[in-house]
Amino acid sequence: MIRYGTGRPLLTPVDPDGSVRGARLRRLGLGERADASFDSFDAFADRVAEVTATPFSMVNFIDENRQFFAGLHTPACTRSGFDLGAAAAGSSRGIRHLARDHGYCPHVLARRKALVLEDVCDYPRFAGNPVVDGIGIRSYLGAPLIDRTGIALGTVCAVDTVPRAWGRAGLDTIKLLAGELVGQIDRRERPHG
């Protein structure tokens, strides 16, 4: 197991594709919330929350340095990262950003396949993640957004503050939603094709 200089286990997987992903996200204009076209990602996150009956859902793009919630559904429906609690980036400008070592989406990217955690506390590797104490996350359901070039751009995920029995239906649902969103991203890049 890879370890920090302090000897603690490295809980976030190494990301050899970070720079390629970051460049692709910049080409697609998906690294920052720039205009009203991002409202479709918020609407998609709302839909994910509705379909999965969860308080939080995200469309998350991950570059070399951080995670960016292009789509965000929160319990208060404020779309504010402040609803994500202490684990969210602190400034008012960065409320839709999260450090790369927080959460489970970086694991989905490294695996390049969906991740289902019915109770994160059942897994020592995941129970120690800062989002457990900082936000109160107890269950996670996420799938990668692998675009037409084969690059995993980010994830679509649903999270809850209580353990959830996602089952096969949850896994199938999040994979289906991820495929649908990848189609939207492809159309965004080639609107007339």
Mind listing the pLDDT tens digit for each residue in 94-141? 367 777 777 888 889 988 999 999 999 898 877 777 677 777 888 999
Q: For residue 143, what is the enclosing H or E element? A: strand 139-146
Q: What CATH number does residue 98 fall under? A: 3.30.450.40
pLDDT of residue 191: 59
pTM for the structure as a whole: 0.83
Kindly state whether residue 148 falls inside one of the protein's structural domains: yes
Kindly state whether residue 44 falls inside one of the protein's structural domains: yes
Mind listing the pLDDT tens digit for each residue in 36-72? 667 889 999 999 999 999 999 999 999 888 888 899 9
Q: What is the number of domains present in the chain?
A: 1
Range of the domain at 165: 18-189
SS3 sequence of 6-55: CCCECCCCCCCCHHHHHHHHHHHCCCCCCCHHHHHHHHHHHHHHHHHCCC
From first CA to last CA, the distance across the chain in angstroms is 45
If you average pLDDT over every residue of the chain, what do you get? 80
Kindly state whether residue 102 falls inside one of the protein's structural domains: yes
